[in-house]
Copies of this chain bind each other. A is one copy, B any other.
Amino acid sequence: MRIVALAGGIGGARFLRGVQAAAPDAELTVVVNTGDDITLYGLRICPDLDTVMYTLGGAIDEQRGWGRQDETFVARGELEAYDAPAAWFGLGDRDLATHLVRRQMLDAGFPLSQVTAALCVRWQPGAALLPMSDDRVETHVRVRTDSGERVLHFQEWWVRHRAALPATAIVAVGAESSAPAPGVLEAIAAADVVLLPPSNPVVSIGTILQVPGIAAALAARPVVGVSPIVGGAPVRGMADACLTAIGVETSAEAVGRNYGPDLLDAWLVDTADAGATVPGVRVRAVPLLMSDLAATTAMARAALELAGA
């Protein structure tokens, strides 16, 4: 079986572990959001790619959900001592090495997809990780502040301000002129099923869908989405702040309807949201908490079953 999943960071990566456990013989390709990527100190930082790579490669910090196990933050402490402009970003010393190798390879002319493949030689994630695009796409957020509107890079809004500044618009800058990375459309075309993990529907899955060609390719395949919203709240993270910015209610039903029948064949919601309906889409309710690998595997199995229903 060939499975393609679109993914953001922490939630997507955890769900993918369940997919690998539920379908150990499947050939899994993960198309990863790069709209969260940011250049800091000249380094190109790809939070979602790294979270998926570290998670599937067994190197993730399980408590935090991002960054490396046994991480130290010596360099970050020094950046604070220098009063550096982005000391708010959590750059661990182990993680830094990933960004340094990426910088070296990008400077040598390799596209991000090839850099990612090279990094994965070390981590062996058991899946093909593809950036959604080799082109630069960066999500920016227009926010209201006491002194008027400002535009921030997504990371500054999300990490530095914990999404506390009200967002009035979210724009994936560069998306409309970007191209899918090599292999993305081919993997989708060959997929028996495409899964949308419970990643952020706006800034993770929504950004991937803005890369020209990807949504059209998905329309021809069986697509099963898993709701990131349970009982009217995000399971993790601050997706509600993103949904509010695009005028979508924070509910499993509203997110399913926002994806809509052109994209989705089926929509998996939590038992708490059992009454949800999405016109033109099969909806099924199962427990959606990824409390451990067994629960996550059951979720993934339900999503795969729903694809075949």
- A: residues with CB less than 8 A from B are 40-43, 72, 74-79, 81-82, 84-86, 93-94, 96-98, 100-101, 103-104, 106-107, 119, 122
Per a CB cutoff under 8 Å, which of B42, B97, B98 touches A107?
B42
**Sampled A-B contacts (23; CB under 8 Å):** A41-B104, A42-B42, A42-B43, A42-B103, A42-B107, A72-B72, A72-B93, A74-B74, A74-B94, A75-B75, A75-B93, A75-B94, A78-B94, A78-B97, A79-B97, A81-B122, A82-B98, A84-B97, A84-B101, A86-B104, A93-B93, A93-B96, A96-B96
Q: Is the CB of B122 within 8 A of A97?
A: no
Instruction: Tell me the nearest residue of chain B to A106, going by C-beta.
Output: B42
A74 to B93, CA, bound (A): 6
Residues of the B chain whose Cβ atoms lie less than 8 Å from the Cβ of A82: 97-98, 101, 119, 122
A94 to B103, CA, bound (A): 19
Residues of the B chain whose Cβ atoms lie less than 8 Å from the Cβ of A76: 97
A283 vs chain B, min Cβ distance (A): 44
Residues of the B chain whose Cβ atoms lie less than 8 Å from the Cβ of A93: 72, 74-75, 78, 93, 96
A86 to B119, CA, bound (A): 16
Q: Is the CB of B100 within 8 A of A42?
A: yes
Q: Is the CB of A104 within 8 A of B72?
A: no
Per a CB cutoff under 8 Å, which of B75, B98, B100, B106 touches A97?
B75
Residues of the B chain whose Cβ atoms lie less than 8 Å from the Cβ of A103: 41-43
Nearest 10 pairs of A and B residues by beta carbon: A78-B97, A41-B100, A42-B103, A74-B93, A75-B96, A93-B93, A75-B93, A41-B104, A75-B97, A79-B97
Q: Is the CB of B84 within 8 A of A41?
A: no
A43 to B98, CA, bound (A): 14
Residues of the B chain whose Cβ atoms lie less than 8 Å from the Cβ of A104: 40-42, 84-86
A76 to B107, CA, bound (A): 19
Residues of the B chain whose Cβ atoms lie less than 8 Å from the Cβ of A78: 93-94, 96-98
Per a CB cutoff under 8 Å, which of B79, B96, B107, B122 touches A101?
B79
